[in-house]
Amino acid sequence: MTEAQFATREILPIEPYAPLDEIRRRECDEAIAVLGHGSALASVTGFEPTTWTRVRFRLWSAASEIEQGPNIRAYRVGHLSMGDGAEGIRRW
């Protein structure tokens, strides 16, 4: 993770009555694909029930690898802390 130079945040709507378990499966599959290509270093998705959106956070080593899109905001990583339990990070 120390090679992370950039982070992205993507906010996407969740349609009314959408099957959340299916969305979760698709998000896991997409994270596996992005991480498998070696472009993203890490990927986390969360559901935000107040506004019915899902939020994706990803870490990147180079700006050229960052996905582009209307809902994606990119940031430069200034510091990344990894606690003692970092070796136990769950990978899908």
Q: Which residues in 1-35 are b (16+ Cβ under 10 Å) and which e?
A: eeeebbbbebeeeeeeeeeeeebeeebeeebeebb
Kindly list the domain boundaries of the chain, sorted by start residue. Answer: 6-79
pLDDT digits (tens, 9 = 90+) for 55-68: 999 999 988 888 88
* Fold that domain 6-79 belongs to in CATH: Alpha-Beta Plaits (3.30.70)
Cα distance between residue 43 and residue 25, in whole Å: 14
C-alpha count within 13 angstroms, C-beta hemisphere, residue 7: 14
pTM to 2 decimal places: 0.79
pLDDT digits (tens, 9 = 90+) for 7-49: 999 999 999 899 999 999 999 999 999 888 888 999 999 999 8
